[in-house]
Amino acid sequence: MTDLYSASASRMANNLLEASEYVKNNDGAMLIFLHRSVDGDCVGSACGMCKVLRDLGVNAYVAMPEHLPKDMEFMGVEDLLFNIFDEEDKDVFNFRSNRTIYGKPYIQALSVDISEPGRMGCCGEFFSECDKKLTIDHHASITMRGDNMWIEPDASSTAELCFYVTEKIAEQLGKELSEVLSSLAAQCFMTGIVTDTGRFTYKNTRPETLDTAGKLMLHGGDITSVSYNLFDRKALYKFRVSAEARMRVKLYCGGKLAITTVPMSLFDKHEALPDAVDDVVSAMRDIEGVEVAIVLRELSTGEIRANVRSVSEFDSAAFAANYGGGGHVRAAGFTVNDPSISIEDLAEDVIKKAAALL
């Protein structure tokens, strides 16, 4: 952990310990928020912190804006989740009507891997209305700062930051790390780090990242299990949809720009969910000569979701910001929710804007 990380981690650990005492003293509950279109880093960070806080005696839950993807079920975090999207659940109904979580008043919020309510899906309004908020994030597109926030764009992942905070929590409590970091929390943080470093192959993998992974292994984090479930294991429908999406790839700008469109009809054909093409954009970026890869997929809601990956000077986050999105310089995304815009029209506009930057 660098000196900068150490100071910021100590501050955030202190904030979380104070928040924990506030929640316990008022017999309340804390919700941990993540972004929609969930990935391994936001889920791993949220669930890892939730487990750490629960082990400190806090009524903490992860506010889920959508179903947990099947490739993350291996984490075993279902008991930590509060599925706000499930309007049929009586507990969710009670939360929406009187802001209680299993009978406890919702009085504290923590967001991880996200700080903007607009990117939290159906959970955004509930984060916005809470007076007491904390944030841990590593997205370069975030410009907000404050004592209640730790934004570290140079970090490999939010999960890495959450691990540092957990180390400082143990230190401030005078406990061994093993007393604060359970094997489940270690596995969750490992999931986040492995996801956002591409199994430690991306440029954001730093010496301290590998050191962190080693410490997580000692406390129950299983790199092999995480890598297999997130990168290697494929359901048949995912294999088939991914293959068709790759066959639809078109190259522009002398082979520097690769783009593919995945209409809802393709998901319907294979009875597949939108996450079936999560692996496609990285595969496209690996094509020789490609500097920018973009996948556009239609969702059952009518929205069009985009994933952007780059390997050169192309700023993916800045490009995604043209459409209200964000992320990192090399990996970003955005969602378009306009019924008047077809996936073909959006692709044409995306190609035009990207070509102007190449």
Give helix 40-55 / helix 183-196 axis angle, nearest 10°: 160
Give how far Cα 327 sits from Cα of 1, 269, 303, Å. Answer: 23, 31, 19
Looking at the structure, tell me whether residues 79 and 219 fall in a common domain: yes
Looking at the structure, tell me whether residues 284 and 199 fall in a common domain: no
Q: Residue 215's pLDDT is what?
A: 97
Any idea how long the chain is? 358
Looking at the structure, tell me whether residues 203 and 85 fall in a common domain: yes
Are 305 and 37 in contact by the 8 Å Cβ rule? The answer is yes
Give how far Cα 22 sits from Cα of 62, 108, 150, 314, 339, Å. Answer: 18, 8, 20, 45, 44
Q: Residue 301's pLDDT is what?
A: 87
- Spans of the chain below 70 pLDDT: 1, 140-145
Looking at the structure, tell me whether residues 313 and 176 fall in a common domain: no
Looking at the structure, tell me whether residues 223 and 269 fall in a common domain: no
Query: What are the φ and ψ backbone dihedral angles of 108, each rounded to 5 degrees?
Result: -145, 140
Looking at the structure, tell me whether residues 134 and 222 fall in a common domain: yes
| Whole-number Å distance between alpha carbons of 263 and 1 | 44
Residue 127 sits in a domain whose CATH number is 3.90.1640.10
Looking at the structure, tell me whether residues 42 and 145 fall in a common domain: yes
Q: Residue 83's pLDDT is what?
A: 96
The number of domains in the chain is: 2
Looking at the structure, tell me whether residues 190 and 42 fall in a common domain: yes
Looking at the structure, tell me whether residues 243 and 106 fall in a common domain: no
The last residue of one of the domains, among 177, 195, 230, is 230
Looking at the structure, tell me whether residues 149 and 41 fall in a common domain: yes
267 Cβ contact list (under 8 Å, min separation 6): 241, 273, 274, 276, 297, 298, 300
Q: Residue 144's pLDDT is what?
A: 64
The last residue of one of the domains, among 230, 252, 281, is 230
Residue 99: which of 45, 63, 70, 56 has the closest Cα?
Answer: 63
- The residues facing 297 across adjacent strands are 262, 305
Residue 164: which of 209, 200, 217, 224 has the closest Cα?
Answer: 209
pTM (2 decimals)? 0.88
Q: Residue 261's pLDDT is what?
A: 97
Are 65 and 121 in contact by the 8 Å Cβ rule? The answer is yes
Q: Residue 1's pLDDT is what?
A: 67
Looking at the structure, tell me whether residues 104 and 72 fall in a common domain: yes
Residue 64: give the domain boundaries. 3-230
Q: Residue 199's pLDDT is what?
A: 94
- Pair type for strands 331-336 and 326-327: antiparallel
Residue 309 sits in a domain whose CATH number is 3.10.310.30
Residue 294: which of 326, 334, 263, 236 has the closest Cα?
Answer: 334
Other C-beta atoms lying within 10 Å of the C-beta of residue 28: 18
Looking at the structure, tell me whether residues 19 and 162 fall in a common domain: yes
The last residue of one of the domains, among 198, 230, 262, is 230
